[in-house]
Amino acid sequence: MIPCQIEAIDDIVDFVDGLIVPGCDLDINPKFYDKVVSDKTKTMPNDEKVVFELALVKRILDKNIPFLGICHGMQLMNVVLGGDLIQHIPDYIKSEINHEQPVPKDVPSHLIKIKKDTLLAEIAKDYTEILVNSTHHQAVNNLGEGIIVSATAPDGIIEAIELPANTFALGVEWHPEYLHRNQDLDIKLFDAIVAAATFKNN
């Protein structure tokens, strides 16, 4: 467990070979991407954790340390690079997909399409589409500087982003930690960041 202390960031960055930021039940305060809080946004009682996370992710990306953002982690990656978020998907788009699936997280609920010539496509190998789980009501909207989209849902919601200028900087909106036992791509995501971190350390 990493302590949420700004003064610890230098030590953390010097210590880690790679970073995974997982999901979170609460939302990033929209003030961090210059938007007014929607009544559907569930922000934290205080911003200490998000301030720390944004500062840490920025330093990790600046230092080209391998990074994997999962759901909340992907959204942090976009915000820290100047992008913004859709605060509540049903208010933004009419869709047959329920991005807050009612079934358990280890059950996939909708397809995503993986874009060619991306890091995600390289990890996925022969997969161009894959079923994922979906437990989010927010999503990436306008992209941060240098970010590209590497997967989308059929309704156009962004499901994966990456930073091509970095060796390994990838964000996914789904939760591969719940699917890794029955889908090759999900375990490959973790294998890939471990390999990138190991290579960096050699």
Residues annotated as part of the active site = 71, 175, 177
Q: Return the structure tokens found at 51.
A: 């301030």
| CB-based contact 118:166 (threshold 8 Å) | no
Calculate the CA dihedral of residues 94, 95, 101, 105 and round it to 10 degrees: -130
